[in-house]
Structure 1
Amino acid sequence: MRLLITGGAGFIGSHLAERALAHGAEVVILDNLAANYDPALKQANVELVRMRAARAGAGFRFVRGDVRNGELLDRLFARHRFTHVAHLAGLPGVRPSLAEPRRYLEANVAGTVAVFEAIRRHGAGVERVVVASSSSVYGAQPGPWREDLPPAPLSPYAASKAAAEQFARTYQRMLGIGVTCLRYFTVYGPRQRPDMAIARFTARALAGQPIPVFGDVHSRRDYTEVGDAVRGTWAALCEPGADFQVYNLGSGRPVTLKELIDALGRVLHRPIALDLQPPSPGDAPATWADITRARQRLGYHPRTALEEGLRRYVGWVRWHLPVGRGEGRAARGAGNHVRRGLQRRETNGR
């Protein structure tokens, strides 16, 4: 397998790169190291993948660039002759999309089109393309959510993901290759973005600060540990056939926000104070994945319970980003902590 991972310096992408390398794939990461959060953290992810590749003697290359750069994509496809593509690049986040919807249109929709256009020009050997989508496309419909439910987005972010799915379906028909859209459900774990809820909750709790809670503590979310999400992503990449598929990648076991915070408090061995805030527009009151299709077709079986996943994440935070340093200083030192972490077994076991 010759695999291109767009957005591969990020959270899910860097884990996927490691899994692909472990399975003998040649991997190219394309990422522009966007400043939606500190690029030093993404660079640290790349260095970790690079060192793992060197140890395994596997083929790896990192290219810094924008996925919408057609000339760059042309060069990469011509040189590497990819057989598989994991298109994970894009702008995340419901709340920021409310303020800047055009950026989400350009990054998430135009970026997806650019990848498929490069495949149309140079991707004669491409067998399967996986496109990162989101549980946000379901909106506020009652759960559990099956993949055949019509999209009902509540935010520009969700709308951009729903539109990217439609372009992916259109290009599958045009190109006759395998295309899969993966609807991720609140993926968390080591290396997750610092703006994500569990990361913010953990940072504030470790600093002895109250956790801001927007809306009802009884709202429910389907949380997916990154190892489970990546196993599902790898299975989708390896699926044979020139077809179009959509899969939910979640746990299938939603929990309330109160249950999440209580579990985090047990892992941290400290009480957690709450700062109750009004509900945030664009957020769904509940998310709930029906994972029957992924289980039957991909052999997807999430196996990490929430509290175990939180324990792995908190262990990673304590080792790689020690408490007591500012966010910017922690990011600058992340690469050193990654290199130190390779010299002993990582807390998260991956």
Structure 2
Amino acid sequence: MHVLVTGGAGFIGGHLAAAFLRDGHDVTVLDNLEPFYAEGIKRHTIDVHREAARDCDVAYRFVEGDVRDESTVTDLVADADVVVHQAAQAGVRESVDNPRKVTDINVDGTVNLLQAATEAGVDRVILASSSSVYGKPRSLPYDESHPTEPVSPYGVTKLTQEHMARVYTELHGLPTVCLRYFTVYGPRMRPNMAISNFVSRCVNGEPPVIYGDGQQTRDFTYVDDVVDANRTLLTSDAADGEVLNIGSSDTISIQELAETVRDQLAPDLEIVYESAREADAEHTHASVSKARERIDYEPSRTITEGVGEFIEWYQANREWYEPLVRSS
């Protein structure tokens, strides 16, 4: 199978592309190397892909380009069996500061891709959505029928992607699946996320910083679980036309998360508190019952287990990863 992964040099897309290569698929990655965070992390990811392709004797191609470039997208999609669409301008706070850019990339880029996929007759398009589509919780955990009232431009663009995918499925018969990810973390994760930030600061003897009172809760999802869901959907039509939550179904407060990291790495440090950031969700918590029913999805780690694994990875890869994290 030939898989096109947009945003495939990024955190989640990078893990997906590497897993598909190791599974014996040919992979093309499209990524514009957006400097939202250290480009060196993305370059390292591309090296991981090339090594996996050599080891598994499969074809790998990296294309530096943009999903907003209609001709590039059309050419690459034409050669693909399945498209895994991870490309997006990430960041809730970035979307508050620059909503036009986020809309341009996340919405217009997705329309380019869906149109090209329809014309090429690909087997399936798997799209990365987000728990940000839910907004303020009316009940927890969120199931897929919960009202969608996003509180950030980023969340609005992700919800718009979902509606576009649904329309292309209904109008043109294009098989699409939208996966609502809940705060994904793991090796090579973005340096501006809470877990990587807490670990970096504690390793360097600096206090973890919490924005707000720390009582916000998050459902953190280990990246391997996201990979497993996408792997299944490469060949399964069990969720075509649907949206699925992909989370851990476990929650932790930001306060408890900071304490967990601090206690393991630098127990004498005092936690520092700063003003809450606008447009951040207060709570997230995923119901994964639908994903379990449709694709046998099962989270593999508790948050505590996953954070412990990330700390081990960070320490083993500190020489190359930490300078990039701390320069971001």
Letter of the 1:15 counterpart: H
Could you say if the C-alpha distance between residues 283 and 330 of structure 1 is closer, same or farther in structure 2, counting changes exceeding 3 Å?
Answer: closer
Counterpart of 1:89 in structure 2 is 87
Tell me how far apart the structure 2 counterparts of residues 300 and 209 of structure 1 sit (CA, whole Å): 38
Residue-by-residue CA offset, 1:121-174 (whole Å, 9 max, x unaligned): 3x22x1111111110111111311011122110011111111111111111112
Q: Which residue matches 2:51? A: 51
Unaligned segments of structure 1, at least 5 residues: 332-350
Between 1:308-317 and 1:184-193, the stretch displaced more is: 308-317
* Worse-matched range after superposition: 273-282 or 235-244: 235-244
1:25 to 2:25 alignment: yes
Task: Give the residue type in structure 1 aligned to 2:15.
Answer: H
Check whether the contact 1:261–1:272 (CA below 8 A) recurs between aligned residues: no
Please name the residue that 1:103 is paired with.
101
1: CA distance, partners of 2:303 / 2:255: 13
Matched, 1:293 2:290: yes
Q: Is the 8 A contact 1:267 1:310 kept in 2?
A: no
In structure 1, C-alpha distance between the alignment counterparts of 2:106 and 2:113, rounded to whole Å: 11
Give the 3-state SS of the residue equivalent to 1:63 in structure 2: strand
Distance 1:97 1:24, change over 3 A: same
For residues 152-208 of structure 1, give each alpha carbon's deviation from its aligned partner in whole angstroms, at most 9, with x where no partner exists. Answer: 100111111111111111111122121111110011110101111111111111111
Alpha carbons of structure 1 residues 65 and 132: separation in structure 2 relative to 1, 3 Å: same
TM superposition shift of 1:302: 0.5
C-alpha distance in 2 between matches for 1:180 and 1:172: 9
Counterpart of 1:131?
Answer: 127
In the other structure, the counterpart of 1:116 is 114
Equivalence for 1:343: none
| CA deviation after TM superposition for structure 1 residue 236, in Å | 2.7
Identity percentage over the alignment?
38
Distance 1:328 1:289, change over 3 A: closer
Alignment match, 1:75 = 75
Query: What's the CA shift string for 1:4-39, capped at 9, x where partnerless?
Result: 000000111111112212222111110011111121
Deviations 1:58-100 (A, max 9, x none): 121111100111111222234x2x1111000001111111110
Q: Does 1:64 align with 2:52?
A: no
Seen in structure 2, the aligned counterparts of structure 1 residues 314 and 241 have a Cα distance that, compared at 3 Å, is: closer
Q: In 1, are the aligned partners of 2:126 and 2:179 still within 8 Å (CA)?
A: yes
The root-mean-square deviation of aligned C-alpha atoms, in Å, is: 2.0
C-alpha separation between the residues in 2 aligned to 1:136 and 1:58?
A: 36
| Structure 2 runs not aligned, ≥5 long | none
Whole-Å separation in 2 of the counterparts to 1:324 and 1:87: 26
Calculate the TM-score normalised by the size of structure 2.
0.94
- CA distance in 1: counterparts of 2:210 and 2:277, whole angstroms: 10
Which AA in structure 2 matches 1:250? G
SS at match of 1:58: coil
Q: Which stretch of the first structure deviates more once superposed, 232-241 or 45-54? A: 232-241
